[in-house]
Structure 1
Amino acid sequence: MEKQNVTLSLPKETLRKARLLAVERNTSLSSLLVEIIEEIVAKADAYELAKERQLALMNQGFNLGTGGKATWTRDELHER
């Protein structure tokens, strides 16, 4: 995969903690950030796919077993 360098501006304390976290995980700061960003992108992609599937199902509609015709009247539904 082709890579491109980017420049980030982070608060100093956040950067310090991120470096410590990378050391704890025995990885580089760059690798840690790549892992986190890839996870976020994967979740966003999965969400979009799920949303598209659900919208397609809603557009298709559900079989209510009525053949598209109501076999009752409004009054029948509201009888007590």
Structure 2
Amino acid sequence: MTITFAVRGDHIQLDQLLKACGLVDSGGAAHAAVESGQVRVDGRPENRKRAKLRAGQRVRFGDQDIVLVAAQT
């Protein structure tokens, strides 16, 4: 399944994105998922919990794909 997420502003942190998409219940759960290697950004494993993500990037968590797009103003 693919989720399209509109980034407001310049970026969103990876942990905040996972929470905003409803894929984790808390920041701690987001941090644990990243630390355990469950998250990929643009096809590569990401171990930075607060990685700054921008429109045009793709995140994979479990069976979920998240496509980041620029928010319409």
When the two structures are superposed, what TM-score results if normalisation uses the length of structure 2? 0.26
When the two structures are superposed, what TM-score results if normalisation uses the length of structure 1? 0.25
Q: Which has the higher contact order (CA 8 A, sep 6+)?
A: 2
Question: For the pair shown, which has the larger CA radius of gyration, 1 or 2?
Answer: 1
Identify, as 1 or 2, the structure richer in helix: 1
